[in-house]
Amino acid sequence: MKFAGDVLLRNVCSRVYVLALIVSVWILLRGHNEPGGGFIGGLVAAAASIALAMAFGAELAARRFPFRAPVRCGVLGVLITVASGVPALWRGEAYLTHPWSKLELGVFSLDLSSVLLFDLGVYLCVWGALGGLALELLELDASEDQA
């Protein structure tokens, strides 16, 4: 897919990519008590990867994924999700029971839990799976253009 305004697209998309990734991480971290979470964060990150792929091509966008490949990113995401339920087993509770603790940092306190690990796994899975799928479709399109 070649656009006439190639330079414009590349410049805009490389900046949009960084911004969108930051937004997606913010959405991920905010997700527990407010709208947000791993799934929607992953969707925004996948959108960022698609924007990058439209400007620079699917191969380069695929290399920019965590762990260098979309499928590996997705699979490791699911592994992190599955692993986040294991601490509950060590504590003798049912699988996927998430322990909470408070971290006091002087003037404010952070609530920590393994739910964040679960959500992070979902984030990576959705980014890898949907981003990878979209890149695959873009490659299909490109190969059709050449054929």
Tokens coding 31 = 């997700």
- Per-residue interface string for the shown chain with other proteins, residues 11-30, x marking contact by CB under 8 A: --------------------
- Per-residue interface string for the shown chain with other proteins, residues 48-77, x marking contact by CB under 8 A: -----------------------xx--xx-
| Residue 94 interacts with other proteins (CB under 8 A): yes or no | yes
Residue found under tokens 């937004």: 23
| Residue 1 interacts with other proteins (CB under 8 A): yes or no | no
| Residue 136 interacts with other proteins (CB under 8 A): yes or no | yes
CA–CA distance, 22 with 56 (Å, rounded to integer): 20
CA–CA distance, 124 with 65 (Å, rounded to integer): 10
DSSP 3: -
CA–CA distance, 47 with 49 (Å, rounded to integer): 5
Residues that bind other proteins (CB under 8 A): 33, 39, 71-72, 75-76, 78-79, 82, 88-89, 93-98, 129-130, 133, 136-137, 140, 144
